[in-house]
Each structure stands twice: as C-alpha cells, then as structure tokens.
Structure 1
C-alpha cells in the first residue's frame, strides 16, 4: 500500500471511530478522574462566575469539575438546526467554549456526511465546516445564531478557534483541510461584533509545509507533513503573539508552536524548529485555572489493537517570558 493511500485509510478510520463514538449512548457519571475520560481535543473553560471548570471537545458533550481532578457528566449541550446544512445529526469535532462580552460561545466543527462537496485524488470530501453557537450560560444549551454559514460551503474547514486581535476585532482562526488542498492551511476570518456571522473572506496565515518539525514519508522521500490541526492563540508575558497547533511527525501526533513577528494575526508566522509537546500529545489549548495558574489541556493519542484511545491530559506551562514553556 502506498503511503498516500495509508494516510487516507488512517484518516478514514479516525472519522469512523469518531462517528461511532458519538452514536454510543453516554451514561451520566460523577466523581470521574480525568484520566478515565475518553475525549479528543479537550478544551477547558475556567468560569469564575460559577467557580466551575467546563470541558468539551469532540462528540458534542460537556463535563464539569470544581477542581480539575474529578469530573461529572457527560451533558449534551449543542442544539443544531436540523433544517440547516448540518442535517439532523451532524458529527461534532473539536468543540471549544469561549466567554465574550457577557455570553458564552461554542466553536466547533460540524460534518454532514450526507452532503459531498468535492472529490480529490479519489477521496470523497463531505460537507464540513467550523461554526459558532451561543448561550447565556457556560453549560448551555448552545444554539445557532443568525448566519447559516461562516465559511465557504465548497471548502472543508475545521478546528475553528477564537481570538480578538490588536485591532480590537474578533476573528475565527481555522484550518482548511489538507484532504482538499493537499497542503493544509491555517487561516483567519473576521467575525461580526456579536460573533453571529463572518465578514469578508478568509486569509491564509501559514501552510503545513512551513513547519520544520512535522514530517511524513512518501515512498522513498521524507517531506513536510500536510496536516494543520488544532490552532490556539496566546500572548506571552512580554506580549508576544503565539499559536500552538498540531500535525504529525511520521506516525506520531505532535504539537508545535509558531510566533508572529508583527504581534498580529497577519504575521509573518515563524515556526519553532522543535515540537512543544512529547510525541503523541496534541490538539492543545491554554487556560488559566481559578487560582491563576496557566495550564495546557491536550489529549494523548494511542493506538491499541487498531483502536485509537484519546485521553485528556494537563501540563503546567510558563508564559512569563518571551516563549511558552512546558514545566
């Protein structure tokens, strides 16, 4: 089997496993240790108003905790419109929670496998896009807003995240999926002031091939990996703008970091030479605990007898200097 075909097969298996995971009934549990939860792309909101941590990710579910150690859930919090392009039961990937101007926003990737938008190199691409839901409460329910779409319908996008840039305007940062363009991109698009829709067109920030650390093997050649995944923006203690994001080092899911030379989303973005996390930890995000300590939430990525096991993990981080450091 050629390397390209193997990569497509692995991607397809991941999609099937995520889809199957969402169809399995979830039994509500309490007092659950973090490492007993199977969850991809964990994102944690530390809400001071309720003194509670809210964790979401792939699957459209929510977990709650008072101390980050013991959790209860899962809760179903995303309410999509069955008459929209998403259909009655969309897959939900990489959900994030963001508080902004007194409301709570649910950034997620929604997939409707019944709609096919493209076929590239023999691979059929379904309708998939980053989208935003809103709620008055951190635990939802999260519901659609005004605009039915944020990004072009003929373009598969994923892992949308939120950032207010130095111009004071809100933006969505997202990935144009490599399966269509064959060299995944990281892009930005301006959002309306209430995040109810997007303004204008997206702009490319960097491409997967810009990374000096991510690699894949194609036949007898070692090349830059094509995947961009899981962006998250931050500023260091010196005010430097950075972005953590994930790709692959051959078969290892791994996270790197880039910094903007201009201090704005427009970059240029300079990639660090080495990954920021150990192998098979990725899709990270940063949050400040209720006690003011900076943490990184990631998931581990492990293949057990052909089944992907993904578990949330927390790393302490240091943002006091000019670079992000993992303690």
Structure 2
C-alpha cells in the first residue's frame, strides 16, 4: 500500500540499526476522538514508497484501565528492548502517558509502567522519551484544559522506565512562541495548545524540540532550541513555524541510508489525515525543510 492508503495521525518512524526496514506508528483508530478504542497498528517499509501491514502493535486486555482515545504512540529502542510511550484516557481519570514494552519493534506491546507516568492529577498527553548522559527523561505536555496556556515539562525516569524520579520541571509555555496563536474556548480568556514534543540532537550538538500548536493558518509546528544544550534548557523559540498550516505533530528520523526526514500528519482533519515525509537538512541557522 501507499501512504495515501493509511489513515494515521501523530506519525512516528523507528528505523532499527542493522535492519533494512523502518516501522511507522501513530494514532490508527478510525475515530480517535470518541468511542471504543481498538489499539495501535504498525506498518513497515524498505523504501518509504511501498508499505506493508497493518500489524497489531498493541491490543488492550479486557482489564486494561483505558478503552478510549488511544493517541500518539512512540517506540524507542532502549537497553535491549522496545518501549512504547502512548497517551490514554478513561472516564473519571486524567489523560496521561503510559509506557508499554516489547522484545520486538513491531510488538506486541504490553503495559510496563503501572498506569501513566505523567502526574495523575494533571491532564497530560504526548510524552516522549529523551536520554541525556545516560539518564532517561519523559518530556510531555500539560494540557491547556488545566492551565489555559499549555505547557511542556520534563521529568526524570528510573533506569527501567517504570517510575518517575523527582518532580516535573516546566520547560516553556505555548505562548512563548511568537508563531503560536490562541484558540477560542469558554473555559479561559486565552487558550494556547501544546502538542507532540519530539527531541532531536543535531550533528553539531544542538538540542532541538519540535512541538505543535495553532498558528495563523491552523494547526502548525515550530522548533525550540535549548540554550544550554540540555533538556532543562532554557529554551528559545523559532520566530516562525517550520510547518505553518493544517498539519503537525511531527518528528525527525534518519532513514537506513542516513538521510534525515521530517514526518507529520496533514491535513489535520479526520478521516483525511495522512503521514507525509520531507527530506530535512541541518544548517547553521537551524533546520531546512525540502517540500
């Protein structure tokens, strides 16, 4: 199949060293917004043109705590296994990011952490793993539903990725970005969204974070840079969005031949969303996207 055949949001690509294939994960239920969730599927490719699948990467057991709104799975190779960081919610519980584990990149994945690792009294989503100097961190969004001006935080994880260590640290707020715009919601005077943080270390050592919000032309994605080169920042924001309209929640990956790509979903409407791939260059000024 081709990418146009695959309905998917929040795409994440895992390339396994030594294998001539890459795996595509994402929010794959036909309706991720409401109703019963099926789980997460994965697709694989050797050329980024023809795709194979779907394969069931995660299916919940009957006693799994969440049965709706399965969002934004990411899969990271870590210490000899594969760990899926995904967002779940349930009636009477706050949305949060839980860790699942498998011995193979395609799964099947089983719960690893005891429920979400994000604070249980916060509305959170889109947690990503970032390892710095051997220390694992969870970078995640604290939703506008709690704070109005959406936030991105980092918290240290235990070496086995089962629990958090210490308290979350605020990295920045959505309104810090010149390109971000508020959206109308009755709960707050102004609402700024934070979605989909994804970390990228450049060849010259800069630490970048892709993240999404709303800009002048709808859903968009910008880039933040850590002034210290570390996950705790301080973080400075790009003046303009790298993807300004009708798409976002992206990440950077390297194909087996080393070529960097940006993937994101566009358009930002269900059921039309599709993953797209764009060659990417690192420059002295930042990132250059080749459309």
Q: Same fold (TM over 0.5)?
A: yes
2:138 touches 2:157 (CA, 8 Å); kept in 1? yes
The equivalent of 2:178 in structure 1 is 212
Asked whether the 8 Å contact 2:184–2:191 carries over to 1, the reply is: no
- Asked if 1:324 is matched to 2:287, the reply is yes
Measured in 2, the distance between the counterparts of 1:259 and 1:224 equals 25
CA distance in 1, matches of 2:229, 2:110: 33
CA distance in 2, matches of 1:302, 1:150: 28
User: Structure 2: any 5+ residue segments left out of the alignment?
Assistant: 29-39
Task: Give 5+ residue unaligned stretches, structure 1.
Answer: 1-31, 118-126
Cα shift at 1:79: 4.1
Residue 42, structure 1, aligned to residue 20, structure 2: no
Q: TM-score, normalised by structure 1?
A: 0.79
Q: Give the distance between the partners of 1:214 and 1:83, measured in 2 at CA.
A: 40
Tell whether the 8 Å contact from 2:149 to 2:190 is kept in structure 1 after alignment.
no
Provide closer, same or farther for how the CA distance between residues 84 and 172 of structure 1 changes in structure 2, counting only shifts above 3 A: same
Could you tell me how far apart the structure 1 residues matched to 2:183 and 2:251 are?
28
State the alpha-carbon separation in 2 of the partners of residues 52 and 84 from structure 1: 31
Alpha-carbon distance between aligned partners in 1 of 2:152 and 2:115, rounded to the nearest angstrom: 22
Find the counterpart in structure 2 of residue 228 from structure 1: 194
Looking at structure 2, the residues matched to 48 and 217 of structure 1 have their Cα atoms a distance apart, in angstroms, of: 41
Task: State TM-score, norm by structure 2.
Answer: 0.88
1:181 to 1:225, Cα distance in 2 relative to 1, 3 A: closer
Match of 1:111 among 89, 93, 97: 89
Q: Distance in 2 between matches of 1:262 and 1:199?
A: 22
**Residue aligning to 2:256:** 290
For the pair 1:63 / 2:43, whether they are aligned, the reply is yes
Partner Cα distance (2:202, 2:191) in 1 = 27
2:290 pairs with 1:310: no
Aligned-residue RMSD, C-alpha: 2.0
Give the secondary-structure state (helix, strand or coil) at the position aligned to 2:145.
helix
**Larger CA Rg, structure 1 vs 2:** 1
How far 1:148 sits from its partner (Å)? 3.2
8 A contact 2:217–2:244 mirrored in 1: no
Give the drift of 1:278. Answer: 3.9
C-alpha distance in structure 1 between counterparts of 2:69 and 2:194, whole Å: 20
Once the two structures are superposed, what CA deviation does each residue of 1:56-87 show, in whole Å capped at 9, x if it has no partner? 1113111111211111221211144543533x
